């Protein structure tokens, strides 16, 4: 194998490993169930989230990011999970209304919360190829 091809394969492998990111342990906040659907001129996201940490989390906020097929930003909307404080294993809910767009194919949930005096974040992605298919 030519030396330049070997280097190309090594660099490509390193780039792919970097893009994949580190392996994550279980997410501290998980989507227990969600539904993305059209309601008239709106696209609605209803989601139920759970605290999988062993301690209470405070001030749970979510930014719901709507992306197209190519991961281009279509819209982002900020909301608060209710209740804003979740005990270990406790479930909360969020709802977001945005103007409907046929371009939306993916939804990122980006969570921010406080725990033991630290500000923490996590994110989860859902593909929604057709409306109604995102119901879990």
Map out the domains of the chain as residue ranges. Answer: 26-127
Band of the pLDDT at 4, cuts 50, 70, 90? low
pTM (two decimals): 0.74
**Domain 26-127 listed as CATH 2.60.40.1230:** yes
Tell me how far apart the alpha carbons of residues 107 and 91 are, in angstroms, rounded to a whole number: 20
Q: Name the pLDDT band for 7 (thresholds 50, 70, 90).
A: very low
The answer to whether the beta carbons of residues 60 and 92 sit under 8 Å apart is: yes
Distance CA 115, CA 96 (A): 24
Q: How confident is the model over 32-82, as pLDDT tens digits? A: 999 999 999 999 999 999 999 989 999 999 999 999 999 999 999 999 999
Sign (positive/negative) of CA torsion 26, 32, 38, 44?
A: negative
Q: Is 20 helix (H, G, I), strand (E, B) or coil?
A: helix
Res 85: pLDDT: 95
Residues 95, 77: Cα–Cα separation, whole Å? 10
Residues contacting residue 83 through CB under 8 Å, at least 6 positions apart: 90, 92
Beta bridge partners of 125: 108
């Amino acid at each position: 194998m030519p030396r330049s091809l070997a280097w190309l394969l090594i660099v490509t492998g390193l780039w792919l490993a970097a893009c994949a990111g580190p392996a994550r342990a279980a997410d501290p906040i998980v989507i227990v169930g969600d539904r993305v659907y059209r309601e008239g001129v709106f696209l609605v996201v209803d989601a139920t989230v759970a605290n999988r940490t062993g301690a209470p989390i405070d001030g749970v906020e979510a930014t719901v990011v709507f992306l197209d097929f190519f991961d281009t930003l279509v819209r982002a909307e900020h909301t608060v999970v209710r209740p804003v404080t979740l005990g270990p294993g406790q479930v909360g809910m969020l709802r977001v209304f945005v103007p409907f767009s046929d371009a939306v194919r993916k939804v990122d949930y980006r969570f921010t919360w406080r725990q033991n005096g630290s500000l923490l974040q996590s994110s989860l992605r859902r593909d929604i190829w057709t409306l109604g298919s995102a119901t879990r």
